[in-house]
Structure 1
Amino acid sequence: MRVSLGVTNFTWPAVNELDAIARQADEGGLDTLWVADHLVQAEPGTEPTDPMLEAYATLGHLTAITERIRLGAMVTAVSFRPPALLVKAVTTIDVLSSGRAWLGLGAGYHQGEATMMGLPLPATAERFEQVEETVRLALQMWSGNDQPFTGTHVSAQNPIGRPLPATRPHPPILIGGAGEQKTLRLVARYAQACNIFDIPDGGRTVRHKLDVLARHCDTENRDPAEIDKTISTRVLPTATIDDITAQLTRLTDLGLDHAVVITSGPWQRTTLNTLIKATTRVA
């Protein structure tokens, strides 16, 4: 079981507390530092006016203060940025971090945020088509092919992607969400990782979603073992090492490879230290 840190809340008394949290996660051996990609605060129990840093500027900053931990957005709503700009941002992070970037992508959902910030949020079917076309554009740019790209929703006359990413053949792609007809099919076709949710039902939903993914992999002639099966799970700030160890063990037993751990409110160094110790136990 690999364990990553998910940062969804930036309401520390001093914003540079993020630096301390990032360095602690890096030195503690966690796999990836994920930041939520919203322009307004969207965590349950918060207000939209609470502090929220833009994801890719934040990830660029984190490349300079960390050494080994991977970096990604969990996840970018596909319609919120021009596709070529998104690919270029991820490529830049990958180059500056010497090959530690993810492309985390999803169809998006937050109509309130889109309305407040003047961002597009097309109909659901169109957004899923945009996800597929954005991934295809990314793969083309990362291969060094700058020929015209023409899709139904995504087009680029001369999509130059230089420099190429440090990660070869390309940064890993995570497609977030658990939709059985579209999302998990796209994971099976294109992605190196999925991200599903920790539903408190004894594991029934998680097992079912992994079975659906396996069936899509069979249709796509893909080995399910090639896909990093990640799950977003929450720990309380008061959780003990034993609590988190049991939680991670439960997820491992469900067939998951990678836990993305979030907490209520901003991460505290004490809670992160407990997570790191539990991760060492599970490993």
Structure 2
Amino acid sequence: MKLAVHFPNFSLPDAPKSLPGALADTARAAEEGGCAAFTVMDHYFQMEHMGGPAEPMLEGYAALGFVAGQTSRITLGTLVSGVTYRHPGLLAKVVTTLDVLSGGRALLGVGAAWYEREHRGLGVPYPPVAERFERLEETLLICRQMWSDDTGPFSGRHYQLAETVCVPRPVRRPPVLIGGGGERKTLRLVARYADACNLFGTGRAAVAHKLEVLARHCETEKRDPTTIEKTILFGGDPLEDPGGFVSEMDEYAELGISQVWLNARGPVPAEWVRRVVDTVGDRVQVL
């Protein structure tokens, strides 16, 4: 099981002045602790359950560009970008830029988007859910084409690109992670296009069921499910019950989960990351 660190909360003491140091220190703590990835939130507004729009929220890829200059090995991405946030051609270009400037460390995390208020607030179109999934599939196809030798046009139902030019090319093709556990659409797109999925860590039985659904989609798509990395986002704090956390991660690992994201916590999140690594890293982490 690999550990990864997610940075969702920008409401830190003395913010926004403290945010550059907090981001840099937390990412470096994750890298030094052997964590596999560092991700940030990608929203326009902070989510309602974390205080809503009155709380600070940084733009995801600008934040990652900053973090790339503070680190040297750890994978960087968003968990995850709503498909409505950026035109897919621009998204491919943004992720490519992160990959080039980080030396091949970019991850494309993407999903169908869900937070209507931030779209309405900033005047960004928020189509119905069925259309968002159609746009997600076209986005995945466009990114794939822009990271290939094919620079020709793309013509879809929602997006038309005259030239899928992406120069410079990524150092490596950024792996694609699709977030969410929707059984009819999301996991089907994982089976068809993704290198990895991210599920909520809501217990062994629930995750096992999602993986069974994914396996059935893989069978339909003639895809080997072992070629898809299975990851979870864990909502709790491992420091509250380290032994229980290790046991739970062992259960997930038996299901085929290979990476767990932890939400950085506390007024000094870098210190929290160091404590987690020191407390459970040797018992969980296998890189």
Please give the TM-score of this superposition, normalised by the length of structure 1. 0.93
Per-residue CA deviation, residues 208-236 of structure 1 (Å, 9 max, x unaligned), is: 10000001111111111110101111233
In the alignment of these two chains, the number of paired residues is 279
* 1:178-220 CA distance string (max 9 Å, x none): 11111000000100001111124xx221111000000111111
Distance 1:248 1:279, change over 3 A: farther
Q: Does 1:228 align with 2:218?
A: no
CA contact (8 A) 1:34 1:74 kept: yes
Closer, same or farther: CA 240–206 of 1 in aligned 2, 3 Å: closer
2: CA distance between counterparts of 1:266 and 1:206?
31
- In the alignment, the residues of structure 2 paired with residue 80 and residue 261 of structure 1 have an alpha-carbon distance, to the nearest angstrom, of 24
Task: Indicate the residue corresponding to 2:102 in structure 1.
Answer: 97
**AA partner of residue 84 (structure 2):** S
Cα deviations by residue, 1:102-146 (Å, 9 ceiling, x for unpaired): 111100000111111211210111110111111111111100311
Gapped runs of 5+ residues in structure 1? none
Is the aligned partner of 1:192 residue 2:163? no
2: CA distance, partners of 1:66 / 1:43: 31
TM-superposed deviation, 1:267: 5.9
Structure 2 counterpart of 1:184, which letter?
L
Code of the aligned partner of 2:198:
N
Determine if the alignment matches structure 1 residue 10 to structure 2 residue 10. yes
The residue type paired with residue 281 of structure 1 is R
Aligned partners of 2:268 and 2:233: how far apart in 1?
15
Name the % identity.
43
- Does the aligned pair in 1 maintain the 2:5–2:264 contact within 8 Å? no
Deviation at 1:264, TM superposition (A): 5.2
1:116-265 paired onto structure 2 within 5 Å: 116-167=121-172, 170-200=173-203, 203-236=204-237, 238-239=239-240, 241-263=242-264
In structure 2, the residue corresponding to 1:235 is in which secondary structure? coil
Show structure 2 runs of 5+ residues with no match: none
Q: Output the aligned Cα RMSD.
A: 1.6
The residue type paired with residue 39 of structure 1 is Y
Correspondence for 1:81: 86
Structure 2: how far apart are the matches of 1:45 and 1:143?
Answer: 39
- TM-score w.r.t. the length of structure 2 is 0.92
- For each residue in 1:20-68, what CA deviation from the matched residue of structure 2 results, as whole angstroms up to 9, or x when unmatched? 1111111111001011101111162423211111000001111111010
Q: CA deviation at 1:238?
A: 4.9
